Structure 1
């Protein structure tokens, strides 16, 4: 906040104390990422006691999103309590109970928002907006490393994996060489878990499976692995990705093309089956 941020978007848990952390900065928008109505209710009620409401809430479906997922265990990511229909319906009742008007806290649906029809459907059902991640990460204007875009754009359903992160949450990523090797040795690494100093020296997680020796969760340095992905290190990086197909297949297109498609459903006239498979590595 002190650095001039306009908004704080926070996930990976229940940000019950975020208003306290942002105290003194009332103009900074606070936007939690949650996945079910129960968590939404807990956050709103706690924040109301602090005299603050979320400026918006991102509702992320763990069965479709990439990165850390809002379920307590991998086997729960497809649970019906995360369905957008159910969350929207239950939030309508929650808002009535709390005396809030519908729309006073915009609900932004995230996860699997990869085509115009789907986006239009959820906006008509009451969502204020949608969040799109992977599709923008692979656009021409994205500052991601070309190899990073290539990994995300060419991934297939069979090359995505759900696993337990070092943060203790389910996560979804592309099965790169490092992830394949890690998953094959995970149980052995967990048996050898022990407390140690942070590898990077700045303790990026409050609870870290590797640093704290928590054997039941991940045993790798997430900061190191994500940094390697940012640098385009396909062999050693961790590449988070959403589950759905991309609007233009493997093709790397401009943001303007993506926006036009998401808003109208019209794909670029020059996008053939062959060009959709051709990934620009320039």
Structure 2
């Protein structure tokens, strides 16, 4: 009872695992190509991808376009597997990132942090890029399907449903995060039900992928049994040799205890989940981190009222400078106790899945 394939239209991933796109340099070509090579879907995150470019402060748009094109090409040189790009709808350069991904032949665009209501408008004749919104409710799935159908005669190629145990920015109100009504276990079947009528109209499946707190092979088995076509996992892939973050970022997971995984109020107006450290302790005790906003990267960020710049904090964390930033993490990050290769991680997930399937 090995892993089933994950099919998104004519794309066939050998294993039903998508590596979550982790922004500000955590999942770039290194991690994405390693996952794609093992038969999963590797994902490059577009948020602040140009952070290493010398002109990122003065030429934000061009720096990010250049960096995304380069990362996609670098990943493509290492694998002929399936590569996606994660693009937050809230990014001020959303349009640039979508156009660049399509032009460079990305297999999939995953779009969350807002409803990507105009995403199909970017697909020109002959473009094969699949469009997969990331949502957190059945209502959001229905809104997108109706809008895309009426305006573009197009339906999503799949949906990623992200529950409240995910890392980074969450599409939930703070009081919903621990409410069982909003749990992934409850939402996945609701989304599957909501997309059923649209599958009939499309004349094809619209696979639903479960994300947010998926930890091991038994979890994968649970969601697939529920009707999900696959899972998306972020946190587990941080603790791999191939992950593009600094070793100190990865070690922050290994060193974290359960109480260190905290919900924070992000400057962009959403709750987020992160590993507690000196930077967040300072922010919590009211210390401001003075900054100028060189990027204007997120449309919902009011930098005039913000205690710190989240882009700079996350860039610093990616580089391992955790006194000047913090690591986003999923609810289970404290369970990470070793850094392994992507190959070893996927093999252990496979064994866990096989064990759960044979016990069922």
Structure 2 stretches lacking a partner, 5+ long? 1-101, 354-360
Moved more, 11-20 or 74-83: 74-83
Structure 1 stretches lacking a partner, 5+ long? 190-197, 267-282
1:94 aligned to which of 188, 194, 202? 194
Deviation of residue 156 (structure 1)? 1.7
C-alpha separation in 2, matches of 1:159 and 1:10: 29
1:204 aligned to which of 297, 308, 312? 297
Which residue number corresponds to residue 343 of structure 2?
256
Deviation of residue 21 (structure 1)? 4.1
Matches within 5 A, 1:1-282: 1-23=102-124, 26-49=127-150, 50-62=152-164, 64-71=165-172, 73-98=173-198, 99-100=200-201, 104-185=205-286, 199-211=292-304, 213=305, 218-245=306-333, 249-265=336-352
Going by fraction, where is helix more abundant, 1 or 2? Answer: 2
The alignment's TM-score, normalised by the length of structure 1, stands at 0.80
Deviation of residue 100 (structure 1)? 4.9
Moved more, 150-159 or 21-30: 21-30
The alignment of Structure 1 onto Structure 2 pairs a total of residues equal to 249
C-alpha separation in 2, matches of 1:259 and 1:239: 23
CA 175–22 in structure 1, closer or farther in 2 if over 3 Å, else same: farther
* CA deviation vs aligned residue, 1:173-231 (integer Å, no higher than 9, x gap): 01111111112217xx6xxxxxxxx93423111121224x4xxxx53211111110111
Deviation of residue 45 (structure 1)? 1.2
Deviation of residue 104 (structure 1)? 1.2
CA 182–17 in structure 1, closer or farther in 2 if over 3 Å, else same: same
> Contact (CA 8 Å) 2:261, 2:274: kept in 1 or not?
yes
State the secondary structure of the residue aligned to 2:274: strand
Deviation of residue 246 (structure 1)? 6.2
Q: CA RMSD in A?
A: 2.5
State the secondary structure of the residue aligned to 2:131: strand
The alignment's TM-score, normalised by the length of structure 2, stands at 0.64
